[in-house]
Structure 1
């Protein structure tokens, strides 16, 4: 009998994959919905395009996470690289947003207000910290 409990990683990847698919679709189909929190009306076309582009990344990473969440042996072998990829994308985005807030001209960054940039950071940071914790403190889950 094993002393290790079953890893919740497969379920975590599945749930996050579904969230990324749904979120990515919203950013692609209706970018005005999430942008209304971060950008004052009228929303600039450049902000809409940026949101759609980030939506395609998010959607694609969601597909990767769904594929990695299956019980297939190849899926299990790819979970670590998929998780690192998702972490790298989100951590890079957090870094760029933080640098923009600290050092950038925040009067009109594609229409994003400093409050909007902080909201975006607040949404991403918990995922980054969770991924980093799993990757560093729970490597046996893979």
Structure 2
């Protein structure tokens, strides 16, 4: 089994959410939240704004911790072909500056402000739905029921 700790920025403005398109090695694309792996010795709080800047060109400030999600991706669908656990830490992040642009030489492209009502029609990572639910519900425990995977919702 592989394991990863990642942070995700939930950026909401005027009924829209900031998404990026992830391009897999096979060329398949999925919409996701800005974010990614926490580097060795890096604080997750710092990782989320670093990832936001790398993937979108925006500067941001963490407004609050939304919650944590732990999901296991079966080997049959995991990129590396082995079962994978992802622990995702979700933050509400407010954009403070910068200019929207694609990630330079990265796996994410096309950062886009998307109407929240249009998200359901996109092929997206389950973490998009999870992050939006955390932002809407603001559970005291920081935990909600995992987002079911299937159809347009991918691992």
Compute the TM-score of the two structures, normalised by the length of structure 1: 0.26
**More strand per residue: 1 or 2?**
2
Larger radius of gyration: 1
Compute the TM-score of the two structures, normalised by the length of structure 2: 0.25
